[in-house]
Every structure is written in structure tokens, then in C-alpha cells.
Amino acid sequence: MLAKAILGSCLALWIGCSIALAQDSNMTRALQLMSEVPLIDGHNDLPWQLRKQFNNELNKVDLNTLTTTHTNILKIKEGRLGAQFWSAYVPCETQYKDAVRQTLEQIDVVHRMCQKYPETFMFSTSSQDIMDAFQSNRTASLIGVEGGHSIDSSLGTLRTMYHLGVRYLTLTHSCNTPWADNWLVDTGSEPSQHNGLSSFGKQLIVEMNRLGMLIDLAHVSVEVMNQVLSLSKAPVIFSHSSAYSVCPHKRNVPDDVLRRVNETRGIVMVNFYNDYVTCSETAKLSDVADHFDHIKEVGGAGIVGFGGDYDGVTRLPEGLEDVSKVPNLVAELLRRGWTDEEVKDALGNNLLRVMRDVEKVRENMKEEKPDDIPIPYDEVKNLCRTSFGYPNIGAVHSLSIMALLLSLVPQAFIMLTVY
């Protein structure tokens, strides 16, 4: 009996050691691959946390020691984060009010973050910048504007933000814009206003192609997804969305769209938010890996990437609690049989290819003039918007005022005759 017990203990110890060695082997391999190709994450809301917690007073913050966020410099280093699209996000409540100002302030805080920590961050706007930052052992820092309400239906504002370094625009957030429907339309909780994109929305897609700005389809309705996939000359991204077949949440991407993303050479960057991973409040790292597996199965390893949504969500999977934990997921993909090339594609090569294709489209369209046809005034008319620049709108206002005055003349005449 004693011999059996000893043998059983040894066997259990041997199995445990074998599992540990296999895990160590996968992690060693994961870190090696991450040293060869930059991990590019599509969406991180640290700038919004800087707004919420410190009102963008960056001088009062030390990103080396900050503990109230999923992201700080130590976690970035541990997570081998090669490149990050920082989100310039402002809420839908700013639409028709001060969305442009607040978005510009979020763009500004990303610039200042890079200036304050130049040894960690390199402000970047191109595929080549990402590789240059990676070679210098810094995190390439790009900007994505999250929500079309941030441009206030203005192509001039879109271009200005591009000149400030913005390299993607998420067409909607969780509200319709005057030119595009958001994902809540698919839940039935909001009505469709445009059956996808309005005419101006289609203009915007062409102008984004001309600029060389990535079109982000996270947060849009399925109709918008399909319309953009048909319209855009350049591949698109989903900066932080997961697979609908694994978790049927309307923020996720259905299989037919995944196949179209493959056909158009785009990318779906997997979101880690529990509610989009398992459609519940709890999730594990392996559940996130299920989304990677599914997207690879349906659309191929060439369309998958990382889009953690750190600092933009309240619940994260066990094993992926902050930015430092991403190598665990890379090791899990290797454990599941992903090849080195497939993992390198997901880490960064897919996004680099998409960016290069977008840059090629920009180069091919360089002779085309900027679109300067504004959105029709009736589509954006509200109390917070003036009509300057719209032909005849001012004249109409003047005629209305004159008509009002004339309508008051008879009353004034009556009052004079009575008194």
C-alpha cells in the first residue's frame, strides 16, 4: 500500500511538472514572438481615465506609479505592448454641444503623455512609425477617435483631426449621428435613422479613404458594416469587437461579416470585456481565446488582432485583469496549436498590413481634391448650430424675421387707434 501511495504521489508530481514545463515552454515561446513582432492593441481608454480621474491635469499624475487604472508604464512593459491606439473618446452626451472641443482635449492629452514620457512612448501616425518605435524599445502611440459625433458632421473637422495625428475614426459610439446608425439600432432599443449610412455618411467613407484614415466599424449597426465593406477602397478595422457566434451581443461581429472582412483584407481586434466575451459578468482567459479561435476558423488567421478595451470597461476576464497579462493570452493561443506565423499575424502583422494597404489607397488617391460639400443644413439643424456658410439660409432667417415684424404691424395700428 505504501509503495502504491508513493507511486501515485510521484505520478501526480510528474504530471504536474510536465504541465508546468509545457506552460513555461509556451510562455517562453510567446515572449520570443513578442520580441520579434510588435503587439499592437486596437483600443485603450487610458486618456478617458485621465479625464475622469484628473480632468486631464497630467502634471498631477505619474504613469509609473498610477494604480487606479488597468494601464501604467510598468504594466505596459510587463505586457510587452509594442503599439497602442489610444482612444480619444468623449460621451454621446456631448453631441450637438462641445464634442469637438472635448475630443481635441483628448487628442492633446495623448500628445502630452508622449512628451512627458519620451523614453516609453513614441507618438506615431504610420506603419513605419510603429516599426521604428518597436526597434527603439518604445510603445508606438497612435490616436483613434471613438465616435462620429466627435467631428460634428464636418469633413473639415475630420481633416483637422487627421492633421493632429488621428489615424482611425469609429463611425459611431452608442448613439446615432446625423449620418450613421449605431449598434443599438440592432437591439431594437433605438430606431434606425438612416438605414445604415446617409448620403453624407457615404461621402465621409470616401474622404477617409483619401486621407488614409482607418475606418473603425466597432459600435456600428450591421447595416453600416455591410455598406462600408462595399464602399471602402481600403480595408477596415473593428478596433475592439469580438465574435457574435461565441457571444451573441450586438457589439460583436456576425460570421457573414467576418467572411467579408476576410475578402476585403480587414481585421477584427478582439475585445476582452466580459459582457462581450461570455455575455455575462464573468469570464476567463480561455473564453477570450475561444473568440480568437472562432474568428480564425471563419475568417482566417489573417483577420484577427488584439483590442483589449482596457480602461474602458468595468469587468475583465480572470487572467487578463490588466495590460500586463496579455502574454498569458499569447501563450494560450500557442497551447491551442496556433503556429508561430499565425500568432505573429495576430500580434501585429495583420494590423501593419491593413495600415500599409490604407496608406497605399491614400497614395493612389493623392490627386483627388478634398471633399468640401457640407452635410445638408436640415440634417444637422439644432439650437446649438449656426447656419453660416449655407447659401440662402441667412436670407430665409431674415425673411422670417421680416414676416414676424409685418404680422405685428396691424396689432400695433389697432393699439394706437384705441389709445
The residues annotated with a catalytic role in the active site are 43, 45, 146, 173, 219, 240, 309
21: left (phi over 0), alpha (psi -120 to 50) or beta: alpha
Rounded-to-integer distance, Cα 383 and Cα 386, Å: 8
E strands, 248-371, are 267-270, 304-306
Report which of 152, 142, 133 is spatially closest to residue 214, judged by C-alpha positions: 142
279: left (phi over 0), alpha (psi -120 to 50) or beta: left
Longest dimension (CA), the chain: 123
In terms of Cβ atoms closer than 10 Å to its own Cβ (0-12, 13-18, 19+), residue 383 is exposed
Q: Which residues pair with 84 in a beta bridge?
A: 41, 141
Task: Say what the alpha-carbon torsion angle 191, 193, 195, 201 is, to the nearest 10 degrees.
Answer: -140
Q: Which residues pair with 83 in a beta bridge?
A: 40, 140
Rounded-to-integer distance, Cα 188 and Cα 254, Å: 17
Q: Is 166 helix (H, G, I), strand (E, B) or coil?
A: strand
